Structure 1
């Protein structure tokens, strides 16, 4: 699993978010590595007072239960394995949507990883929590 070339041309496709969660849970269960739990922020930026969204809908429970293919779940479990970025973090260093990395360090506010695809293969990076 630590061989970057093994993952460069492989992916698991699933038709629904429920199937993705089942596969992720199964895979986390068979990987013999310590996992680290990361939680999302539990508040909303209120930058626009004229927003059409009613603030009372944005409760902590609602935010934590929201699931979308465009954002990670409230609880994200990460182990020392391959991950894929879901958004652009730093285009200049090649940390873009779809970049694959192998995790090699888990901290309270960061994930350390090695890039395995793109132009910056073998670069060591730290992905910082932004909230």
Structure 2
């Protein structure tokens, strides 16, 4: 999708290093090279290489400043790309239209599958032309296109997706049935056993 935007692109590379440890650092620095660390992907951290353009929508992956409302899941659109900072404008919530300056931040991923600790310094963002239903929670959007390849799988999830807009006119839904055919019906998952103990 970024390639459809014909503005000049800028690529940002992360700085990845093995965390210092008295016993293991000398061994790990020879085993875990920069190339290996750069190729390591963990949930919740950005890629080693991020290619961006002005006008591209992004989402914050971590809380940057909760007191100002710069939190995980905030949607923004890039307005300017600098070497050490990214300028963006807020797209939703109470701060719509506000300018935000996003710095590079150091992060140490915690993943049980990785038997060592490393630190990544990168912009904690991801390009976001789409988002999950969970990420959309709490946001008001002017237009929503809902793509449901499978039925929603938890109680209340369909409500969250449909209630992002205030009018049915700005909501489009593409849903598929269990056989993969387009349908005009969507299952709303309700756990009836929850209601058995209600008075």
Using CA pairs below 8 Å that are at least 6 residues apart, which structure has the higher relative contact order?
1
Q: CA deviation at 1:44?
A: 2.9
**Within 2, Cα distance between the matches of 1:128 and 1:70?**
17
Unaligned runs of 5+ in 1: 1-26
Query: Structure 1, residues 88-119: CA drift from partner, whole Å, max 9, x if none?
Result: 11111111110000100000011000111222
**Structure with the bigger percentage of strand:** 2
Unaligned runs of 5+ in 2: 106-120, 122-199
RMSD across aligned positions (CA): 2.0
Which residue of 1, 7, 10 maps to 1:36? Answer: 10
In structure 2, the partner of 1:15 is: none
Which residue of 22, 40, 55 maps to 1:49? Answer: 22
Alignment map for 1:90-101 (pairs within 5 Å): 90-101=65-76
Q: TM-score, normalised by structure 1?
A: 0.69
> Which structure's CA Rg is the greater one?
2
Q: TM-score, normalised by structure 2?
A: 0.47
- Number of residue pairs aligned between Structure 1 and Structure 2: 103
Moved over 4 A (4+): none
Instruction: Please say if residues 93 and 120 of structure 1, whose CA atoms lie closer than 8 Å, have aligned partners that are also in contact.
Output: no
